Amino acid sequence: MSQAEVRRISQYFEEMVASRPGGCRLPPFNLIFDEADPGRFRNYAIPSAGTDATAEDLSKLIAEFRRRDRTPRFEFIPELAPQLGVLLRRGGFVEEGVLPLMAYRGGAFDFTSSEISTCFATSRSALSEAAQIQHAAFGDGAIVQADVDRLLRLVDEGGLVALARAKSGKAVGSGLVTRPFAGVAELAGLGVSQEHRRRGVGRQVANFLARTSQAQDVSLLFLTAAGDDEARMYEAIGFETIGACLHAHLPPLPSPRRQQNATRCSGHPDNASDEHSMLSASQADLMGMDQ
């Protein structure tokens, strides 16, 4: 693992948060909120590198997310915040996964298919197609105007959005590269339509974006792979695993009605849902934890 690269990525995250309309600081955390989308994958926190958060810090973060009616959530590099994972577990956070963090080293092959063409999306109509592909791929349902506006803003700020089309002209794949900060950018949002999966479309889009970014003086292009299978696909086009990124969120407490139903089913409050009991105990422990 390259310590210098990992720290550059951490610095990128802080710069990215500061530049976003919904970004803010709640030391030692950097928070990202999306006013148009309450989904947990668009609303999360990133710790500043090298800082040790306390139980009080985490309590304040949880309160801020609750105030905004968002699910408290983290995306972070464990090596740069080694105690945060312990703090989150004690606070009742659920680990979504520890995902491969990868950096582009340059590809030896050009993965281009005669059946698929790849181009940049810059117009509202093309970006709307890109948003539709991404939403369908990630199960996010129908797009809204804010989804297209988000991509338009990304392009205006210097980011890239790619669109893959079949010979018929139909959009079948999409992906993006964020605006670079100090030569660092992220490849994300890679999606392929259901009927064109496992045909190399995602690999072609990712390769197109990676090569273009490298030619435009992005010295460190990184991504977070969804799993080992995806990591192998990225390795084939020139990415290398340099670390890991941990994703975790705090589930909501059951409503009073659900809690009451659990008590009725068990016949005794002490035998209510194990998940609720563990979560409540963890959150109580967080509030009273030694600083």
3-30 per-position pLDDT tens digit: 899 999 999 999 999 998 889 999 999 9
Q: What is the pLDDT of residue 110?
A: 67
Rg of the Cα trace of the chain? 21
DSSP letter (8 states) at residue 267: S
Closest CA to 48 of 25, 72, 22, 21: 25
Distances (CA, A) of 200 to 104, 111, 135, 164: 18, 8, 19, 11
pTM of the model: 0.84
**One pLDDT digit (tens) per residue for the chain, 291 residues:** 478 999 999 999 999 999 988 899 999 999 999 999 999 999 999 999 888 899 999 999 999 999 999 999 999 999 999 999 999 999 999 999 999 999 999 876 666 777 899 999 999 999 999 999 998 888 767 788 999 999 999 999 999 999 999 999 999 999 999 999 999 999 999 999 988 888 889 999 999 999 999 888 899 999 999 999 899 999 999 999 999 999 999 998 766 554 444 434 434 333 333 333 233 333 333 333 333
Q: Which long-range contacts (CB under 8 A, 24 or more apart) does 134-140 make?
A: 134/174, 134/189, 134/191, 135/191, 136/191, 136/193, 136/194, 137/190, 137/191, 137/192, 137/193, 138/191, 140/39
Q: What is the pLDDT of residue 255?
A: 60
Rounded Cα distance, 255 and 76, in Å: 29
Give SS3 for 157: coil
Nearest-5° Cα angle at 8, 146 to 13: 25
> Residues 200, 205, 206, 207: is their CA dihedral positive or negative?
positive
Q: What is the pLDDT of residue 2?
A: 78
Rounded Cα distance, 132 and 137, in Å: 8
Residues 70-102 have pLDDT tens digits of 999 999 999 999 999 999 999 999 999 999 999
- The residues that bridge with 92 in the sheet, in sequence order, are none
Amino acid at 145: Q
